[in-house]
Structure 1
Amino acid sequence: MLRVRGVPIRLHFSVLLLIPFLTWALAAQTGLVAEAAGLPVEQLALPGWAWGLIASAGLLVSITLHELAHTLLAIRHGGRVDSIVLMALGGVSQITQMPRQPKHELVMAIAGPITSILLAVGFSLGYAATRATPNVAFALFVLAYLNLVLGIFNLLPAFPMDGGRVLRAALAWRWGKHRATRIAATVGKAMAVVFGLVGLLGGGVWLVLIAFFVWAGASQEKLHAEVQNALANLRVGEMKNTVPSVAVDASVEDARVLLRDAGATSGVVVEDGKTLGVIRRDEIYKVPVEERSREQVRDHMLRTVAVETNEEIAESFDRVLREGEVPVIDHDTGEALGVVRAADVLAKLQERGFHLPGEGPRSPPGREPPA
């Protein structure tokens, strides 16, 4: 798997739709595209489907560069990025912690479209310089067009496009992030309705798909903002569960005994003072009894990045919910202190009167639900 600055780049299954769509589109319209580029179609050496494959590969690389611009600036300004996911309708940087300052979020958000537009300009200059070589010029023309569309499309002021984040960052200077997100999400949903209606009235199925994409993105951002508001001023250290530390090279049997004696369901895995992840009792019990003394913890642990005690739990909520539990380290010393668990965070949300969609009433940790 490709990683940049430790951030993995993944392909979403929807990319399987992008490649045949672009292949079909260029195969069907090679002549029109060549005419728009001012190039003689009879001088093109490849069939339309081959140009489609080249365009698909070029677009995926361009989307990757677009998302890397977001990712590198997010990291530079104190944000955290879990992964980059390349999809049919673009890419998504899974940012688990946004830069705290609105101006930094604004810079991070605008960096992607600017990157795409600069790529479009660069490919356009290359196209102009290679007009005497029709095949090269044709490829550069197509890539210039695709990057221009990608850059402009992402400037639309609607989540999950970058324009939605730009709008939120601009509004946050005056109204704060929570209210800014609600306004930007409302704008996004309004645009989704417009896209959907235009698509249904003859604009094409892609506009309808974009409408669903935008509506879902706006809803997700609004929900995320509501969760962060509900968890405001709650630090990771306040939600910590103390669990034992387990050496990464310890045997699975030693880890089992350690967790049993501590009455814990998990432990923090450490190596030379560095926290590497979590070892869970359930994973230990999956190892056959006769093999536990030979197997090491490193082969059965969940590797994950720790959160610090002084961080706001809202910033790590998505990751805690996804992974179930995340190790906690002391902000000053880096010492492993325990874990923060999704069940406890959800209970705290409920205590503060907030329920995630589809979530029923939940009993507090350590208590059985009423009969």
Structure 2
Amino acid sequence: MSSPSAPHHAATKKDGIPLGRIAGIPVYLAYSWFVIAAFTVIVYGPVLMHDIRGLGIWAYLVAFGYSVLLAVSVLIHELAHALSAKAFKWPTEKIVLNLWGGHTQFENFTASPGRAVIVAMAGPAANFLLAGVLAPFVISRSFDGVADILANILMWANLLIGIFNVLPGTPLDGGRLVESAVWKATGSQDKGTIAAGWSGRAIAAALFIWFIVRPVLSGDGLDITFAMVTILVCGFLWMGASSSIQHGRLRSRLYLVSAAGLADPAVGIANSASVADALAVAPAGSPAVVICGPDGKPQGVVDPQAASAVPPEALATTPVTAVAHALAAGAYVPEWSKGQELIQYLAKLEGGEYAVVDHNGYVTGLLRQQAVVTAITGKEARRSGRA
């Protein structure tokens, strides 16, 4: 699966074990992959031991080999995403193989409905191609023993991976078909993302009903291992689809995020000023007063309550820095910043307040993190509406 709209994140140890680069793309093996590898060995090992006499304990090693081949199949799937994206000059950040298979993460780029579909469908196409290459050898029984079993399983695994991923709902690749269709029809990628998320939820519910609820209601027995896998897969699909819906809704509100529009009025004052100077420009605590250093860069914000608590006879001799709290390093943004650009920039800063400056570097406002969160989520608006 691909993450075409994921923001850039530097690779860390959390990504897993680095496996090197393929076509310049870093590949990582997440630690969670060992969970699915262990599950494969535990479940499939005894089956091999029973089916192939003489294997003995080596059956578990063969089962581990199958999990490795499956990881290679997923890697081919993800490489197809990455290489097709490379044709459109979409920068690929990394490929990670994990518990759920894997994902390809891209850096920021400009997408279109058609190109998004091509990149998404390249992954399943690679699996179908690999299954097609293996099919003649499996059908003609070109291999014997363990090799025949692994080839057979690998062929069917790739066929199922391809079919599963073209189902029309996120987080599966087929969700891009729904997203792009709605995007093309409405002109809104956000509406497409939300529609694909709901489609993904429908797929998760349908799979759960068909493989879990239906057998129970009909009186058929449930295989515990199969039921566990089905529940985990449905849970994964539901969470991914829900995340897609949330992401689409949040992204649809980005136009509301503007440094100039969300900031409270503010003025700048030199850090050498006194509390009297601060009260002179903001006698009632408004506008906000931002302290600036000799280089003009914002350093802190005056606390109106602390400033008003200073005795009148000490106003002129008390430095303004004594009634202010510091801003995080670099916590200032241009007043024209907005949308995704502003959010990504704020994500790199510490603290919850940011000075807003104009083209000349003068302070014009004070942007608070809560105002940005409210603009994106609308949470405060909903709370006040119910009150």
For residues 205 and 260 of structure 1, what CA distance do their matches in structure 2 show?
64
Name the residue aligned to 2:42: 24
- Is contact 1:7–1:81 with CA below 8 Å preserved after alignment? yes
Name the residue aligned to 2:130: 119
Instruction: State the Cα distance separating 1:111 from its structure 2 match.
Output: 0.6
Name the residue aligned to 1:182: 194
**Cα distance per residue 1:216-270 (max 9 Å; x no partner):** 111221222223222249899x99xxxxxxxxxxxxxxxxxxx9967478xxxxx
Matches within 5 A, 1:335-350: 349-350=372-373
- Is contact 1:178–1:229 with CA below 8 Å preserved after alignment? yes
Partner of 2:84, secondary structure, is helix
RMSD over aligned CA atoms reads 4.2
- Is contact 1:159–1:221 with CA below 8 Å preserved after alignment? yes
For residues 57 and 134 of structure 2, what CA distance do their matches in structure 1 show?
20
Q: After superposing the two structures, state which structure 1 stretch, 102-111 or 128-137, moved more.
A: 128-137
Of residues 180, 190, 193, the one that matches 2:205 is 193
The letter of the residue matching 2:248 is A
Structure 2 length-normalised TM: 0.59
For residues 138 and 294 of structure 2, what CA distance do their matches in structure 1 show?
67
Matches within 5 A, 1:108-187: 108-128=119-139, 131-175=142-186, 176-187=188-199
Gaps of 5+ in 2: 1-17, 217-221, 263-292, 300-327, 330-335, 351-360
- Is contact 2:30–2:98 with CA below 8 Å preserved after alignment? yes
Instruction: State the Cα distance separating 1:114 from its structure 2 match.
Output: 0.7
Instruction: State the Cα distance separating 1:67 from its structure 2 match.
Output: 0.9
Matches within 5 A, 1:1-371: 1=18, 2-30=20-48, 41-42=52-53, 47-97=58-108, 99-128=110-139, 131-175=142-186, 176-197=188-209, 198-199=211-212, 201=216, 202=222, 204-232=227-255, 263=297, 313-314=339-340, 323-324=348-349, 349-350=372-373, 353-355=375-377
The letter of the residue matching 2:250 is V
* Equivalent residue pairs, number: 277
**Cα distance per residue 1:299-355 (max 9 Å; x no partner):** xxxxxxxxxxx99853895x6576559xxxxxxxxxxxx9xxxx979667446x322
Gaps of 5+ in 1: 35-40, 240-258, 266-280, 283-309, 326-337, 362-371
For residues 64 and 78 of structure 1, what CA distance do their matches in structure 2 show?
20
Larger radius of gyration: 2
Partner of 2:174, secondary structure, is helix
For residues 337 and 63 of structure 2, what CA distance do their matches in structure 1 show?
47
- Is contact 1:66–1:113 with CA below 8 Å preserved after alignment? yes
The letter of the residue matching 1:218 is A
**Cα distance per residue 1:182-241 (max 9 Å; x no partner):** 2111111122233344446546011111122111111221222223222249899x99xx
- Is contact 2:40–2:64 with CA below 8 Å preserved after alignment? yes
Instruction: State the Cα distance separating 1:82 from its structure 2 match.
Output: 3.1
For residues 134 and 80 of structure 2, what CA distance do their matches in structure 1 show?
18
**Cα distance per residue 1:167-193 (max 9 Å; x no partner):** 212232112312222211111112223
The letter of the residue matching 1:190 is A
Instruction: State the Cα distance separating 1:112 from its structure 2 match.
Output: 0.5
Provide the identity percentage: 24
For residues 356 and 83 of structure 1, what CA distance do their matches in structure 2 show?
33
- Is contact 2:258–2:342 with CA below 8 Å preserved after alignment? no
